[in-house]
Structure 1
């Protein structure tokens, strides 16, 4: 379905409810630059580190796209688990997995409290930015401690920059991208207002320092477009 969530006046802050879940795949493809290309890049890299029976956990798995694509592309027998606190997202993820005939377990839960131990890889695509800053450092530390000795963490985030002029330029470029994808200025403004104080981005350096402070030693940026980036961190 086409994303028309913000073509009317908003009445609440952004949340991953039934209305959003029903159009979320379209929302991602139109709102997150190079979403499919970045997802495929992550999977192509991750596959090289996986063995049979490895546990892969996707935090904020939404409609399940990452794990479903990983299941389709990998020749390994993997333990794939998606965690999301939105019942509407879990329902759609399960329906998609069934339609594609892949074995992925989607769980409705709060990943801040869920046991992530013995994971070979943990994924958080555009998820950590929705965690309140006071809880964010603790979550990243929990992720580090939950990974196996040679575990991998993949994290995609929206960024800000400390240079105010550059930050405005990057935001303007991003909004122009959204216009090219068919969003009106009204829809862009409505979504920006709905996300106020819900999505709280860090700078590139803040994200890297957060990963280092949690214990990760090798950290690389494998994708960046304007104010979006994907990090890979090795335990």
Structure 2
């Protein structure tokens, strides 16, 4: 199949998880209930998501090296994995490894990957990315994954990626971010909430989802991301996509 996979093509129920008042809002988890609505949730919640997937495919085609491994860390249902896979045709000796720590996500990811034929081998691992053994990597994708790693452990995760990247290898990092300017940060949050309202979410859903996720998703500023990546050793860090308070970055290891 040619082109970029649109995550909305994945079978999905409408996201109504937070549509009714909850007596107590529990911390957000990627369980079976979320798996069933995830394609609808991600498209209605993350501005520019399809553009990011397309860019991941383009950058994979540009930076993937023959006889190397490519990783999608925090693969969820496999949309980024598929975007990468479609851009590896004709490149010899490559294999894709998708990693996620949610058994429900991994099970559905395997089904999605089986539904699209390709000569590029792909395996799916159910494990914590903090414990993942990486090796001989040319492209590593973390698509809205690092923000769920405890802040004090993020440097170690990224350093492990850097250490196992080939010279000229890249990290593709997509994240929600915060602005250091309080007024600008409030404006970006308002724009994101307007985006969600335009996609049919109610004020109750927006409020309850925010309460559910605030303890499990700790976001950094773009400057924090840049400084951390440069401190680890990446020779170039570039934001290649931004919409409101969501951004995608490219970090390159020197050749």
Would you say same fold, with TM above 0.5?
A: yes
Q: Which moved more, 1:163-172 or 1:8-17?
A: 8-17
Question: Which residue in 1 is equivalent to 2:5?
Answer: none
> 1:7: Cα distance to partner?
1.1
RMSD across aligned positions (CA): 1.3
Please list every run of at least 4 consecutive aligned residues from structure 1 whose deviation after the TM superposition is greater than 3 angstroms: none
> 1:71: Cα distance to partner?
1.8
Deviations 1:166-196 (A, max 9, x none): 1111101100001111111110001000011
Question: Which residue in 2 is equivalent to 1:218?
Answer: 236
Aligned mate of 2:17, from 5, 30, 37: 5
Spell out the pairing of 1:1-235 with structure 2 (5 A cutoff): 1-8=13-20, 9=22, 11-75=25-89, 76-77=91-92, 78-102=94-118, 103-235=121-253
CA distance in 2, matches of 1:62, 1:25: 10
CA distance in 1, matches of 2:126, 2:191: 36
Alignment partner of 1:216: what SS? coil
CA distance in 1, matches of 2:132, 2:185: 35
Q: Residues 182, 166 of structure 1: CA spacing in aligned structure 2 closer, same or farther, 3 A cutoff?
A: same
Paired residues of 1:68 and 1:104 also in contact (CA < 8 A): no
Deviations 1:179-227 (A, max 9, x none): 1111111100010000112111111100100101111111111101111
CA distance in 2, matches of 1:155, 1:222: 10
- Which TM-score applies when normalising by structure 1? 0.96
Paired residues of 1:13 and 1:198 also in contact (CA < 8 A): yes
Unaligned runs of 5+ residues in structure 1 are none
Paired residues of 1:129 and 1:201 also in contact (CA < 8 A): yes
Paired residues of 2:63 and 2:139 also in contact (CA < 8 A): no
CA distance in 2, matches of 1:209, 1:116: 23
> 1:69: Cα distance to partner?
2.4
CA distance in 2, matches of 1:218, 1:51: 18
Unaligned runs of 5+ residues in structure 2 are 1-12
Corresponding residue pairs, total: 235
CA distance in 2, matches of 1:51, 1:128: 24
> 1:231: Cα distance to partner?
0.7
Alignment partner of 1:183: what SS? coil
- Which TM-score applies when normalising by structure 2? 0.89
Alignment partner of 2:130: what SS? coil
